[in-house]
Amino acid sequence: MFDFNSILAKTYPMKKILSILFLLSLSLFSAQNYRFVYEYKMKNEIYSDSLVTDYMALDTDGKKSYFYNLTKYERDSAYAVNKNFGTLFKKGYDRNLSYLIEKNFSKKTIRFYDKFKSVDLVTTDNEVPVWKIEKEFAKINNMNCQKAVADYKGRIWEAWFSKDYPISDGPYKFSGLPGLVVKVRDKENQHQFNLIQIKKMKTMFDLVPKKGKTMTDAEYKKLMKNYIFIPAEDFEAFNVDKKTGTIGVQLKDGYAVQYNIKELEMGKRAGENIDDEIIRRLKRTDNPIERD
């Protein structure tokens, strides 16, 4: 009797068989478009006693992917349709999460896009985590996951990936594992991503800015580190609504946020006024995800 499995086992080592099966499943996966939504929690200097929560999306077709702030994308899309200035304030997001990360798997490149004042910036940083895969397994959101750790950009990261989705990708710049990153956090628990939603998409939109000023990763980080918030240079619009008790702020980099006046009054430090509190909240974080 013809025994295909026996012949296959004699012809190919098990590692090679698994590699072939992974590539076949990856090929099938690449023919589809997916959006993976992650809950992102981080610690910042404004709310030091708790983690700030935001939502990020990873759109991929298996050949390339875009990672971006989902709230910003939905807000900008709504504003593009109705041109209603009030739309900009309906959904808030952290100013430090206005970036876009594009991974191109065929070219093996990682491009990082952000906006500084009114200028689009683009950097290329192809350094990926070097993972150590451990023999520890868990079931996360009904997915079979395995643990991996890496020392990356000045932090020790613990990730859980799943071969149920055979794509070597994940949130932020986390890639290089034989499966989708489902959960990842740093050892100090200051930054953590958790997969909360998966859905298929008919098409994947190109989110890359048409023009951008190119700089190195080191130049970008130096620019952000030396950045000083100056209202006269950064404010695009400022509006006080006494009826709702809110203050709306729009910056030249496109960021817009609405603050509750009572909350600002409670948060301001001794000797400060509301303007000082707003400026403090609009500064870039002192707890970046990358330390190096």
Cα-based distances in Å from 20 to 13, 14, 117, 234? 11, 10, 48, 53
- Mean predicted confidence (pLDDT) in 104-111: 94
Residue 261 lies in a domain: no
**Which of 289, 279, 290, 292 lies closest to 46, judged by CA?**
279
Residues 148 and 153: their CA atoms lie apart, in Å, by: 16
Residues 2 and 141: their CA atoms lie apart, in Å, by: 40
Residue 191: per-residue pLDDT: 96
Residues 281 and 269: their CA atoms lie apart, in Å, by: 12
Residues 80 and 123: their CA atoms lie apart, in Å, by: 26
Using pLDDT thresholds of 50, 70 and 90, give the confidence band for residue 31. Answer: low
Residues 263 and 44: their CA atoms lie apart, in Å, by: 17
Q: Which domain holds residue 71?
A: 31-220
- Mean predicted confidence (pLDDT) in 143-161: 98
Beta-sheet pairing, 119-124 with 213-214: parallel
Q: Whole-prediction pTM value?
A: 0.82
**Which of 89, 87, 88, 110 lies closest to 100, judged by CA?**
110
Would the pLDDT of 17 be above 70?
no
Q: What is the pLDDT of residues 76-85, one digit of tens each?
A: 665 555 555 4
User: What number of other Cβ atoms are within 10 A of residue 63's Cβ?
Assistant: 14
**Which of 32, 42, 84, 54 lies closest to 198, judged by CA?**
32
Residue 7 lies in a domain: no
Residue 272 lies in a domain: no
User: What number of other Cβ atoms are within 10 A of residue 55's Cβ?
Assistant: 18
Q: Is the dihedral of CA 250, 251, 257, 260 positive or negative?
A: negative
Q: What is the pLDDT of residues 161-184, one digit of tens each?
A: 999 999 999 999 999 999 999 999
Using pLDDT thresholds of 50, 70 and 90, give the confidence band for residue 210. Answer: confident
Residue 169: per-residue pLDDT: 97
**Which of 98, 268, 291 lies closest to 190, judged by CA?**
291
Residue 285 lies in a domain: no
Residue at 193: amino acid letter: F
Q: List the Cα angle 60/65/67 in 5-degree steps.
A: 105
Beta-sheet pairing, 119-124 with 109-116: antiparallel
Would the pLDDT of 4 be above 60?
no
Residue 159: per-residue pLDDT: 99
Long-range contacts from 251-256, C-beta under 8 angstroms, 24+ separation: 251/95, 251/282, 252/117, 252/118, 253/98, 253/115, 253/116, 253/117, 253/118, 254/76, 254/98, 254/115, 255/95, 255/98, 256/75, 256/88, 256/89
Residue 289 lies in a domain: no
Residue 95: per-residue pLDDT: 76
Residue 15 lies in a domain: no
Residue 199: per-residue pLDDT: 94
Residue 242 pairs with which residues in a beta bridge?
A: none
Number of domains in the chain: 1
Using pLDDT thresholds of 50, 70 and 90, give the confidence band for residue 273. Answer: confident
Residues 34 and 140: their CA atoms lie apart, in Å, by: 19
In the chain, % of residues over pLDDT 90: 47
Residue 287 lies in a domain: no
Long-range contacts from 178-181, C-beta under 8 angstroms, 24+ separation: 178/22, 179/146, 180/36
Q: What is the CATH number of the domain that holds 38?
A: 2.50.20.10
Residue 264 lies in a domain: no
Q: What is the pLDDT of residues 232-258, one digit of tens each?
A: 888 888 888 888 888 888 888 878 787
